[in-house]
C-alpha cells in the first residue's frame, strides 16, 4: 500500500491507513467492519472511482494483508503518531497526510465523518491512538501498589496477644534445620520423621504443657492451643500426631480418669515415652458415638473388664497413632455390668509392648495412604475378648463399686454421656485454629505471589501485578478479612473454654461445634481459591498449597462432620429459645413481641431499607443489626416450622429431618453473628490507631461480604431493597481495592517463618 501509485498521486489517502490497519490488527475483518469502511469510502466525494477501488481492495476479507504489510503499516503509523499531539486515529491519519503531502480542503471537511466512523467501529479513540506511541501508558490499575500504613509488628502483637512468648518459641524451634520439610512420598520415612519431630517437641516440654505441674506440665492449656496453632504453619501431619498424642490420648486420661490414672500415665504421655491413641470412631459409627458397638463387660469375680469387637463393622477405624506407634489406647465402648448396658465408657487398653509387638487379642490393620496427612499412622483396631484390670476404667464419670455395681456422680445417662464427650471440645478448638493457620499460609503465598506476578496490561505498556486486578482482589481480600475475623472469634472461643463453668458448657460446646464447622469450611474454600489464584504455580508441590489443601480437607469431617455439627448448634439454639420462653411468663412474652415489633418498625423503615449512604453502609451498628435480625428471624421461623410439623402429627425425628436445611441456616446465622461481634469488639479495643483503621476496614469487608452472600435472604425478607444490595456489592469491591494496598503488610503480620512457608513464589525476587 505504501508504494502504490494512488498514494503517490493523492497522499490524502493516507488518512485511511490507521483505520485499515486497526481493523486488520486482530487478523479478522468482520462483515460489519468491512461494510462500515466501504460506506465511508463510497461517501467521500473527493475520491475518484479508481481510488475507491484501490481502498476497497485493502478491506477485502478474501485478500488480507500479509504480515510484512501489517508490520510496515504499523511502523509508518507509529512515526506519524510521535509527530502529533492528536489523541485519535483520525489525528494520526491527518499527520500521515502532512508527512507525505498536504491537507486538502475537501479532506478537512470530512474530519467529522471520519471521526464518527472511528466511533462506529467501536474504537476508544485515545486508547487506539496511544497504542502507536512509545512510552509507558500509566493507568489507574498500574498506580495501585502496596502501602505501609501500619506497624506490622504491632499488628502481630495484637494477633498473638498473651501467647506471644510461646508462639515465638515454637517458631524458633520450627526454624531449626531439623524441621526442614521432607518428601512425603515414602510412607515409612515420612511417618518416622513425623514421630521424630514429635519427640523433639516433647523434649521442649510442649507436649505436657497443659498437664498439671506434678506430672511434668505447666497447667497451661492456653499455651497448648497456641502451640497447636503455630505448629500448623509447618507440617500438618505433625500437628495431628501432636494432637492425638498429647491432646486426645493425654487429655482423655486427664479429663476422664482420676488421680491413679494421672500418676500412672500422664508423665510418660507428656514425654512421648508412652505413645497412645484415642479409639472412638467405628466403621459403622462415626458421629453417632452413642451407637458404638464395642463392648466393655465387667466381671466381678476377677475384677476385670473384657473389651470385645462384636463384628467387623464395629472395629475402631481411622485411629491416629495406631497403625505403627501406639502402645495403649483410650477405647470407648458400651459398659456392661451385670448384663445391663450402662452406655458409653472409656477404658485404657494396651495395644503393643515396648518393642512394638502387637499384644494377644489385638488385630491392627494399617489404613494405608490417604488424601493427606500421610505422616500420621491411622489404623483399624479389632479387639478379641481382650481382658484388662478394672483400674483401667477411666472412672471420673463411670465407676464400678467394690461390690460390683455401676455408679456415677452423674445420674442422668444423657448428661453423663455428653459430659464425657466434653473431651472433644478441646479438639473442636484445636482443629479450626490449625485450619486457620493453613488458611493464613495459603493467603500469604497467594497474596505475595499476586503482588509480584505481572500479566497483561494496557496495549503498548507494562504488565500489571495480578493483585491489581479487581477480580483477583474480589477473590482474595474477603478471604483475608475472614482469616482476621476468625482469628479473633477463635480466641474468644478458647478463652470461654479455658474459663468455663459447668452451666456454660452447653453453650461452649455449641459454639465450638459451630466455629469448627464455619472455620474449616472456610479453610477448604480459601485454599482452593488460593490455588486457583496462583495458576499453574499453585499446582506445583514446591509451593505447598497442594499439601495444605490435602492435609486440611479432612478437617471438615473429623472431630465431627461439619453438617452434623451445625445441626447440633441449631438444636442448642432452639433449646435456648424454648427455655427463654418457658421462663418468660406472660408479660415477658408480651415484651418480647413488642421488642420484635419495635425492631421491625426501625429496621424495616422504607428509608432504612433503601439507604445507600456510605457512612451508613460502613457503620458496624448497621452490620450487627443486620446479622442479629437474620439470626433472630431464622431461629424463630425454624422453631415455628418444627412446632407446626409436630402439632400436625409428624414424629419429632422426621420433623427435624424435613427441616435440616433450615436448621443448618440457624447454625450459620448464629456463628456469623458471633464472629462479627468479636471482630467489632477487637476493633473497638485496639489502641494502636493505625492498626485500628485497617482492622476496621477488614471488619467492614467481612460484614458486607456476608451480607452480600446472603442478599437473596435479605431481599426476600424486605430487610433491604435492590438499590441497597447493589450499593453494598459496589462497596465490597471498593473495600477490596483499599485492602489490597495493605494486604502484604496484613499477611506479614501473621509472621510465618520463611522456613515454614517454604514456597518459592512467596519469596520476593
- Specify whether the CB–CB gap between 665 and 474 falls below 8 A: no
User: What average pLDDT score do residues 301-318 get?
Assistant: 97
Reported as a single tens digit per residue, the pLDDT across 444-495 is 999 999 998 877 665 556 778 889 889 999 999 999 999 999 999 999 999 9
Give me the helix-helix angle, 505-533 and 545-553, nearest 10°: 150
Q: Collapsing DSSP states into helix, strand and coil, what is residue 157?
A: helix
- Specify whether the CB–CB gap between 515 and 493 falls below 8 A: yes
Question: What is the Cα–Cα distance from 516 to 54, expressed in whole angstroms?
Answer: 74
Q: Collapsing DSSP states into helix, strand and coil, what is residue 333?
A: strand
List the one residue out of 762, 760, 744, 757 whose CA is nearest residue 174: 757
The domain limits of the chain are 5-134, 176-421, 426-762
Beta bridge partners of 464: 455
Say what the pLDDT of residue 139 is. 54
User: What average pLDDT score do residues 679-688 get?
Assistant: 98
For residue 143, name the pLDDT band (cuts at 50, 70, 90): low
H or E element in which residue 228 lies: helix 221-231
C-beta neighbour count of 170 within 10 angstroms:
24
User: What average pLDDT score do residues 720-742 get?
Assistant: 95
Average pLDDT, the chain: 89
Domain 176-421 CATH (choose: 1.10.760.10, 2.40.110.10, 3.40.50.720, 3.30.300.30) = 2.40.110.10
The gap from C-alpha 603 to its chain's centroid, in whole angstroms, comes to 31
C-beta neighbour count of 460 within 10 angstroms:
15
pLDDT over threshold 80, residue 141: no
Quickly list H helices, 175-215.
187-203
C-beta neighbour count of 548 within 10 angstroms:
26
Q: Going by DSSP bridges, is the β-strand pair 276-279/328-337 parallel, antiparallel, or unpaired?
A: parallel
Reported as a single tens digit per residue, the pLDDT across 99-125 is 888 887 777 777 787 777 777 766 654
Q: Got the DSSP string for 554-607?
A: GGGTTTS-HHHHHHHHHHHHHHHHHHHHHTTHHHHHHHHHHHHHHHHHHHT-HH
Residue with cell 504455580: 537
- Which residues 6+ apart lie within 8 Å of 288 measured at CB? none
User: What average pLDDT score do residues 316-324 get?
Assistant: 96
Reported as a single tens digit per residue, the pLDDT across 487-542 is 999 999 999 999 988 888 889 999 999 999 999 999 999 999 999 999 999 999 99
How many Cα atoms occupy the beta-carbon half-sphere of 317 within 13 Å?
A: 16
Question: What is the Cα–Cα distance from 376 to 550, expressed in whole angstroms?
Answer: 13
Q: Which long-range contacts (CB under 8 A, 24 or more apart) does 579-588 make?
A: none
Print the SS3 string covering 376-387: CCCEEEEECCEE
Question: What is the Cα–Cα distance from 15 to 89, expressed in whole angstroms?
Answer: 9
Give me the helix-helix angle, 620-647 and 689-709, nearest 10°: 40
- Specify whether the CB–CB gap between 107 and 16 falls below 8 A: no
H or E element in which residue 279 lies: strand 276-279
Reported as a single tens digit per residue, the pLDDT across 602-640 is 566 667 788 889 999 999 999 999 999 999 999 888 888
- Which residues 6+ apart lie within 8 Å of 249 measured at CB? 269, 275, 276, 277, 278, 321, 326, 328, 329, 330
Question: What is the Cα–Cα distance from 133 to 84, expressed in whole angstroms?
Answer: 10
Q: Which long-range contacts (CB under 8 A, 24 or more apart) does 448-455 make?
A: 448/744, 448/747, 448/761, 448/762, 448/763, 448/764, 449/533, 449/534, 449/537, 449/538, 449/759, 449/761, 449/762, 450/476, 450/533, 450/534, 451/146, 451/743, 451/744, 452/761, 452/764, 452/765, 453/537, 453/761
Say what the pLDDT of residue 587 is. 44
Reported as a single tens digit per residue, the pLDDT across 628-680 is 999 999 988 888 888 888 888 888 888 888 888 888 999 999 999 999 999 99
List the one residue out of 364, 345, 348 whose CA is nearest residue 356: 364
H or E element in which residue 345 lies: strand 340-350
Cell of 509: 460446646
User: What average pLDDT score do residues 716-733 get?
Assistant: 94
CA-to-CA separations, 213 to 49, 88, 210, 430, 605, in angstroms, rounded: 104, 80, 9, 22, 60
In degrees to the nearest 10, what's the CA dihedral of 205, 208, 213, 218? 70
Give me the helix-helix angle, 585-603 and 620-647, nearest 10°: 130
For residue 593, name the pLDDT band (cuts at 50, 70, 90): very low
Question: What is the Cα–Cα distance from 478 to 58, expressed in whole angstroms?
Answer: 51
Reported as a single tens digit per residue, the pLDDT across 194-232 is 999 999 999 999 999 999 999 999 999 999 999 999 999
- Specify whether the CB–CB gap between 534 and 447 falls below 8 A: no
- Burial label, 151 (beta-carbon count in 10 A; 0-12, 13-18, 19+): middle
Reported as a single tens digit per residue, the pLDDT across 192-203 is 999 999 999 999
- Specify whether the CB–CB gap between 612 and 724 falls below 8 A: yes
Say what the pLDDT of residue 586 is. 42
Q: Going by DSSP bridges, is the β-strand pair 399-400/328-337 parallel, antiparallel, or unpaired?
A: unpaired
Fold of 426-762: Butyryl-CoA Dehydrogenase, subunit A; domain 3 (1.20.140)
Say what the pLDDT of residue 584 is. 45
Question: What is the Cα–Cα distance from 215 to 193, expressed in whole angstroms?
Answer: 27
Higher pLDDT, 197 or 56: 197
Q: Collapsing DSSP states into helix, strand and coil, what is residue 340?
A: strand
Say what the pLDDT of residue 1 is. 61
Question: What is the Cα–Cα distance from 269 to 219, expressed in whole angstroms?
Answer: 15
C-beta neighbour count of 183 within 10 angstroms:
9
Say what the pLDDT of residue 504 is. 87
Beta bridge partners of 384: none
pLDDT over threshold 90, residue 142: no
User: What average pLDDT score do residues 291-305 get?
Assistant: 97
Say what the pLDDT of residue 589 is. 41
Give ∠ CA 339-342-344 in degrees, rounded to 5. 125
Say what the pLDDT of residue 75 is. 87
Residue with cell 483400674: 391
- Burial label, 311 (beta-carbon count in 10 A; 0-12, 13-18, 19+): exposed
Amino acid at each position: 500500500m505504501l508504494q502504490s501509485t494512488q498514494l503517490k498521486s493523492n497522499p490524502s489517502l493516507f488518512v485511511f491507513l490507521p483505520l485499515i490497519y486497526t481493523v486488520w490488527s486482530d487478523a479478522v475483518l468482520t462483515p460489519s467492519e468491512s461494510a462500515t469502511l466501504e460506506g465511508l469510502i463510497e461517501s467521500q466525494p473527493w475520491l475518484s472511482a479508481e481510488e475507491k477501488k484501490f481502498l476497497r481492495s485493502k478491506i477485502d476479507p478474501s485478500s488480507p494483508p500479509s504480515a510484512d504489510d501489517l508490520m510496515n503499516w504499523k511502523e509508518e503509523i507509529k512515526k506519524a503518531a510521535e509527530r502529533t499531539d492528536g489523541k485519535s486515529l483520525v489525528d494520526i491519519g491527518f499527520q500521515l497526510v502532512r508527512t507525505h503531502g498536504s491537507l486538502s480542503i475537501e479532506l478537512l471537511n470530512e474530519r467529522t465523518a471520519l471521526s464518527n466512523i472511528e466511533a462506529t467501529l467501536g474504537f476508544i479513540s485515545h486508547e487506539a491512538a496511544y497504542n502507536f506511541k512509545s512510552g509507558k501508558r500509566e493507568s489507574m490499575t498500574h498506580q495501585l501498589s502496596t502501602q505501609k500504613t501500619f506497624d506490622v509488628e504491632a499488628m502481630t502483637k495484637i494477633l498473638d496477644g498473651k501467647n506471644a512468648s510461646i508462639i515465638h518459641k515454637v517458631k524458633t524451634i520450627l526454624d531449626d534445620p531439623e524441621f526442614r520439610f521432607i518428601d512425603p512420598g515414602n510412607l515409612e520415612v515420612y511417618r518416622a520423621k513425623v514421630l521424630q519431630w514429635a519427640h523433639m517437641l516433647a523434649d521442649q516440654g510442649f507436649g505436657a504443657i497443659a498437664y498439671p505441674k506434678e506430672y511434668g506440665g505447666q497447667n497451661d492449656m492456653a499455651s497448648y492451643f497456641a502451640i497447636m496453632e503455630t505448629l500448623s504453619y509447618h507440617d500438618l501431619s505433625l500437628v495431628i500426631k501432636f494432637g492425638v498424642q498429647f491432646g486426645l490420648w493425654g487429655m482423655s486420661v486427664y479429663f476422664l480418669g482420676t488421680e491413679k490414672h494421672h500418676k500412672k500415665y500422664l508423665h510418660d504421655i507428656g514425654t512421648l515415652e508412652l505413645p497412645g491413641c484415642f479409639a472412638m470412631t467405628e466403621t459403622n459409627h462415626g458421629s453417632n458415638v452413642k451407637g458404638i458397638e464395642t463392648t466393655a463387660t465387667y466381671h466381678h469375680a476377677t475384677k476385670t473388664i473384657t473389651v470385645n469387637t462384636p463384628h467387623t463393622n464395629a472395629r475402631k477405624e481411622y485411629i491416629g497413632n495406631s497403625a505403627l506407634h501406639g502402645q495403649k489406647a483410650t477405647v470407648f465402648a458400651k459398659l456392661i455390668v451385670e448384663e445391663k448396658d450402662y452406655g458409653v465408657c472409656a477404658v485404657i487398653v494396651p495395644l503393643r509392648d515396648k518393642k512394638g509387638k502387637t499384644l494377644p487379642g489385638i488385630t491392627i490393620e494399617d489404613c494405608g495412604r490417604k488424601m493427606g496427612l500421610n505422616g500420621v499412622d491411622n489404623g483399624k483396631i479389632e479387639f478379641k475378648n481382650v481382658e484388662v484390670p478394672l483400674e483401667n476404667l477411666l472412672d471420673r464419670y463411670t465407676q464400678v463399686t467394690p461390690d460390683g455395681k455401676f455408679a456415677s456422680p452423674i445420674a442422668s445417662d444423657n448428661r453423663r454421656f455428653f459430659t464425657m464427650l466434653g473431651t472433644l471440645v478441646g479438639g473442636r478448638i484445636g482443629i479450626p485454629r490449625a485450619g486457620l493457620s493453613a488458611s493464613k499460609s495459603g493467603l500469604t503465598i497467594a497474596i505475595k505471589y499476586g503482588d509480584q506476578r505481572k500479566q497483561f496490561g494496557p496495549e503498548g505498556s507494562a504488565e500489571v501485578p495480578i493483585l491489581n486486578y479487581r477480580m483477583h482482589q474480589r477473590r482474595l481480600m474477603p478471604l483475608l478479612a475472614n482469616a482476621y475475623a476468625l482469628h479473633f472469634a477463635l480466641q474468644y472461643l478458647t478463652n470461654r473454654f479455658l474459663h468455663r463453668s459447668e452451666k456454660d458448657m452447653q453453650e461452649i460446646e455449641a459454639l465450638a461445634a459451630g466455629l469448627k464447622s464455619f472455620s474449616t469450611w472456610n479453610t477448604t474454600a480459601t485454599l482452593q481459591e488460593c490455588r486457583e489464584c496462583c495458576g499453574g504455580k499453585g499446582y506445583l508441590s514446591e509451593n505447598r498449597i497442594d499439601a495444605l489443601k490435602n492435609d486440611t480437607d479432612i478437617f471438615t469431617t473429623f472431630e465431627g462432620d461439619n453438617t452434623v455439627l451445625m445441626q447440633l448448634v441449631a438444636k442448642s439454639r432452639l433449646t435456648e429459645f424454648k427455655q427463654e420462653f418457658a421462663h418468660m411468663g406472660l408479660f415477658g412474652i408480651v415484651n418480647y413481641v413488642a421488642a420484635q415489633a419495635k425492631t421491625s418498625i426501625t429496621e424495616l423503615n422504607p428509608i432504612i431499607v433503601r439507604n445507600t449512604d456510605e457512612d451508613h453502609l460502613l457503620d458496624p451498628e448497621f452490620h450487627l443489626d443486620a446479622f442479629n435480625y437474620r439470626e433472630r428471624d431464622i431461629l424463630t421461623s425454624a422453631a415455628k416450622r418444627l412446632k407446626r410439623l409436630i402439632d400436625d402429627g409428624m414424629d419429632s425425628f422426621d420433623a427435624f429431618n424435613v427441616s435440616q436445611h433450615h436448621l443448618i441456616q440457624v447454625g450459620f446465622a448464629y456463628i456469623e453473628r458471633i464472629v462479627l461481634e468479636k471482630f467489632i469488639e477487637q476493633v473497638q479495643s485496639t489502641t494502636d490507631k493505625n492498626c485500628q483503621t485497617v482492622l476496621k476496614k477488614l471488619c467492614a469487608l467481612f460484614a458486607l461480604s456476608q451480607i452480600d452472600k446472603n442478599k437473596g435472604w435479605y431481599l426476600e425478607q424486605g430487610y433491604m431493597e435492590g438499590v441497597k444490595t447493589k450499593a453494598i456489592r459496589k462497596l465490597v469491591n471498593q473495600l477490596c481495592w483499599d485492602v489490597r494496598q495493605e494486604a502484604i503488610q496484613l499477611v506479614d503480620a501473621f509472621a510465618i517463618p520463611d522456613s515454614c512457608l517454604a514456597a518459592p513464589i512467596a519469596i520476593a525476587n
